A and B are shown apart, each in its own frame.
Chain A
């Protein structure tokens, strides 16, 4: 933007733009406000999702026993305080859906892409503020519908977050395949529309609105991660939309895309020629990339925080970018590893094994580069840094079991058992959640102009870190013992009786983990109102968002947008007085830009 235009922009906002409460806080088109809206909606959904997991953890630890809390929260679905099996499945389903899509897709990407893309590339706002606002409100609408589905007569969707037909297609198959499933599908269709609008906006903004000097090779890794995540979303979410639409057709308009030869409850149905396996292909064509949609932003955040708090340049910037691109490409050709035993051609199984194991290479590059960045760094172990290191840990421990599950011959043994539950919670769920927390602790001063309490942050991290492993590590063993997931109770199998104690231990860790999140919530809310005022650049970070004033303003920078002269990782650069140099500081006489 030229100086004149910038001036005009400023005046625009100075004089004509009267902001009412509605346009400032509700229907805002300012990316910083939209980021906060995403974060708060995401956190709210997260509370519900985690609360659900605690409810079904009670059932798993003390199966079929009566609890007042069930009676209070579940009402007629818990006759005499004993959870109904249909409700167990409903809780698992909605827990999974909320955590994956609403918390770790919208809540994570929505918050930090919105906040950081304009601020870190030097733009006044997103390419389209209007689309951005619509994207948030569609997300809000889909969240509302998903929550509303909890209150319908027969209960919410209960076919697992993957909602495989025919179970999800036939209302007579289970109570959760009635109105609750319809609402699930409608909610997800709207969610996808929201996600697509958001992603298109992120892509266009990164391509077009970078400030002078911000070449692609100087982009912070956060932006690379958000940018590529948006591309993966645009490529794969429409395929889930098509699956949802076809499923709606099968459910309501008598088509047979996914159904054939069905005899249920004494009735022969007319469906002919469809296949549930087709649905599985469509679902996982999104479903696998989805785990990277969840994970890449968290990895981007981690790159930024680890470099800043190690006071060292990120190790292997180019390798990091290349591995993000490689992961993005590979993520679209591995979906079949979820279908080794679906009845698909076994030859395809070996193809998908090959492509899946290839992903281990760029993933290992990233893990290696984090560790080498940390190596001999001047570590600032603040809560954001701890959560980032926590992410590296769970990414590795969860990733290792991915190598087992990616191999079709080994996966047959543990597919759909608790081994899988352990794997995906660590590598995707917990890792991305840590990324979310790290991001909140790190950019809280930028979002709210206040600092969060460090000590509460330490408590939050250490309790969460210990308990997350306490919950998910033992699940590997019960999975290898053959315990299936999505089981209301294991008491019908005496063979699994010796696992009962472990289930109690897991649940106790889960409750402690849940309690730790209350510490976070308290810290979050309290700091917004009573936190210490933030300085402009509390972490002495090089990226551009810290050159904007603490007090939010429309258009981000007063006056002209600064020009960028170097990459984002000039930490502890020889010949500089400080151990950091902002991206907007010109090269000194004779200083060379680092070869990265």
Chain B
């Protein structure tokens, strides 16, 4: 998992985790600094990340992000959230600050074990996609060899 950055509180760590739908995913986790916990509330999955050992669990995602966005209750929820964000933005703009971006649904991965001042900030997006989309995405990713060059 990513490390905490005590000095950069406003750094929102945006990283994406892409998972192909319908395939069992085995997560292996470890931590470099303190305890963290990988919590994915929509999958009802959670496991601590522990320095000095590897923890693991597995699940099979069955609903893609796109399908999730089309569900009636999700549409309603997102609509409600965006209404709230528009209201909040009005106040912000009046204060000369930037408006909030509109929200679209994504699966969440967040840190759920107290890990320091930026604990409340540790998150990743999880994108569940069809195998074809997944293959396309992975083809665009640099290989490890390319990264360390």
> What distance in Å separates the Cβ of A47 from its nearest Cβ neighbour in chain B?
26
Number of interface residues of B (CB under 8 A): 46
> What distance in Å separates the Cβ of B102 from its nearest Cβ neighbour in chain A?
9
A487 engages B119 (CB within 8 Å): yes
Residues of A within 8 A of B111 (CB): 484
A415 engages B33 (CB within 8 Å): no
> What distance in Å separates the Cβ of B68 from its nearest Cβ neighbour in chain A?
12
Let me know if A455 is at the binding interface, CB within 8 A.
Answer: no
A85 engages B9 (CB within 8 Å): yes
Number of interface residues of A (CB under 8 A): 48
A416 engages B39 (CB within 8 Å): yes
B42 engages A482 (CB within 8 Å): yes
Let me know if A529 is at the binding interface, CB within 8 A.
Answer: no
How many pairs of residues, A versus B, come closer than 8 Å at their CB atoms?
Answer: 134
Let me know if B99 is at the binding interface, CB within 8 A.
Answer: no
> What distance in Å separates the Cβ of A83 from its nearest Cβ neighbour in chain B?
12
B113 engages A416 (CB within 8 Å): yes
A260 engages B119 (CB within 8 Å): no
A173 engages B34 (CB within 8 Å): yes
Let me know if B44 is at the binding interface, CB within 8 A.
Answer: yes
Bound state CA distance, A412 and B51, in angstroms?
Answer: 20
Residues of A within 8 A of B81 (CB): 494-495, 497-498
> What distance in Å separates the Cβ of B69 from its nearest Cβ neighbour in chain A?
12
Bound state CA distance, A165 and B115, in angstroms?
Answer: 10
Main SS class of interface, A = loop
The one of A159, A343, A492 in contact with B47, judged by C-beta atoms closer than 8 angstroms, is A343
A498 engages B77 (CB within 8 Å): yes
Residues of A within 8 A of B77 (CB): 498
Bound state CA distance, A486 and B117, in angstroms?
Answer: 10
Residues of B within 8 A of A7 (CB): none
A274 engages B84 (CB within 8 Å): no
Residues of A within 8 A of B55 (CB): 343
Bound state CA distance, A412 and B59, in angstroms?
Answer: 13
- Most B C-beta atoms less than 10 A away, residue of A170, A343, A493: A343
Residues of A within 8 A of B44 (CB): 412-413
Chain A, range 193-226, C-beta contacts under 8 Å to B: none
Bound state CA distance, A147 and B64, in angstroms?
Answer: 51
A166 engages B51 (CB within 8 Å): yes
Residues of A within 8 A of B105 (CB): 495
The one of B50, B85, B123 in contact with A275, judged by C-beta atoms closer than 8 angstroms, is B50
Binds B, one of A22-30, A261-269, A560-568: A261-269
Let me know if A489 is at the binding interface, CB within 8 A.
Answer: yes
> What distance in Å separates the Cβ of B16 from its nearest Cβ neighbour in chain A?
15
**Interface flags, B41-83, vs A, CB<8A=1, else 0:** 1101111101111010000000000000000000001001100
In the assembled complex, 24 residue pairs joining A and B whose CB atoms fall closer than 8 Å, in A order, are: A84-B117, A89-B114, A165-B34, A166-B33, A166-B34, A166-B51, A173-B116, A260-B52, A264-B3, A274-B52, A276-B35, A342-B48, A343-B53, A413-B41, A482-B41, A482-B108, A484-B111, A484-B112, A487-B119, A488-B120, A494-B81, A494-B100, A494-B103, A498-B81
Q: A413-B44, A495-B105 are in contact. List 14 more A-B contacts (CB 8 A).
A: A85-B117, A89-B114, A165-B34, A166-B33, A166-B34, A174-B116, A260-B53, A263-B33, A264-B32, A276-B50, A341-B37, A343-B48, A343-B55, A500-B84
| B-binding residues in A (CB < 8 A) | 84-86, 89, 159-160, 164-167, 170, 173-174, 259-265, 273-277, 341-343, 412-413, 415-417, 481-482, 484, 486-490, 492-495, 497-498, 500
> Nearest 4 pairs between A and B by C-beta?
A482-B41, A260-B52, A343-B55, A494-B103
| A-binding residues in B (CB < 8 A) | 3-4, 6, 9, 12, 32-35, 37, 39, 41-42, 44-48, 50-53, 55, 77, 80-81, 84-85, 100, 103, 105-106, 108, 110-121, 123
